[in-house]
């Protein structure tokens, strides 16, 4: 049995794909969130943009895909929260322990993103109903 305290310490963020960050940013700012990170990312269809909005301990990842993929977001039928991310103190240990205990990571190893001041590393697993669970370490 996995000791959960070894793998993650809290919910880190909720990932929400959006169609227009210029509309989403002021909406969440009006709810008291502050923009704490803004970074481009590469996508198979071009460049996207990811931001983090924070209010006290609540962290939302809002990201906009390139224009060619926005229609799939507009027509989703299963809601718009894409994933739940857990904060981990050691991404490599979390990857190893979950892999050794029958969980199948979607990535072959933790992935680096140039988010935050020094970047972050993450990987995902799927829950029993296809929900995506992300394990993330801010470097």
- Please give the pLDDT value at position 74: 60
Residues 124-134 have pLDDT tens digits of: 988 765 778 89
The percentage of residues in the chain with a pLDDT greater than 90, rounded to a whole number, is 35
The count of domains in the chain is: 1
pTM of the model: 0.66
C-alpha span between 77 and 124 (Å, rounded): 22
**With a cut of 70, which residues of the chain have pLDDT below it?**
1-6, 67-79, 128-129
CA-to-CA distance for 118 and 42, rounded, in angstroms?
Answer: 17
CB atoms within 10 A of CB 63: 20
Q: Tell me the residue range of the domain where 14 lies.
A: 4-138
Over residues 76-105, the pLDDT tens digits come to: 555 577 788 889 999 999 999 889 888 899
Distance CA 110, CA 91 (A): 7
pLDDT on residue 72: 59
Q: What is the CATH number of the domain that holds 73?
A: 3.10.180.10
DSSP 54-104: EETTEEEEEEE--GGGHHHHHT-SS-S--EEEEE-S-HHHHHHHHHHTT--
């Amino acid at each position: 049995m996995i000791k959960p305290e070894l793998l993650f310490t809290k919910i880190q963020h909720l990932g929400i794909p959006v169609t227009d960050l210029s509309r989403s940013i002021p909406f969440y700012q009006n709810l008291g969130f502050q923009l704490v990170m803004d970074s481009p990312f590469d996508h198979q269809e071009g460049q996207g943009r990811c931001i983090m909005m924070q209010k006290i301990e609540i962290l939302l990842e809002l990201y906009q895909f390139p224009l060619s993929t926005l229609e799939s977001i507009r027509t989703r039928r299963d809601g718009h929260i894409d994933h739940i991310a857990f904060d981990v103190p050691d991404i490599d240990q979390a990857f190893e322990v979950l892999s050794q205990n029958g969980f199948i990571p979607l990535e072959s190893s933790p992935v680096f993103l140039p988010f935050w001041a020094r970047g972050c590393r993450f990987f995902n697993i799927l829950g029993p109903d296809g929900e995506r669970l992300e394990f993330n370490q801010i470097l």
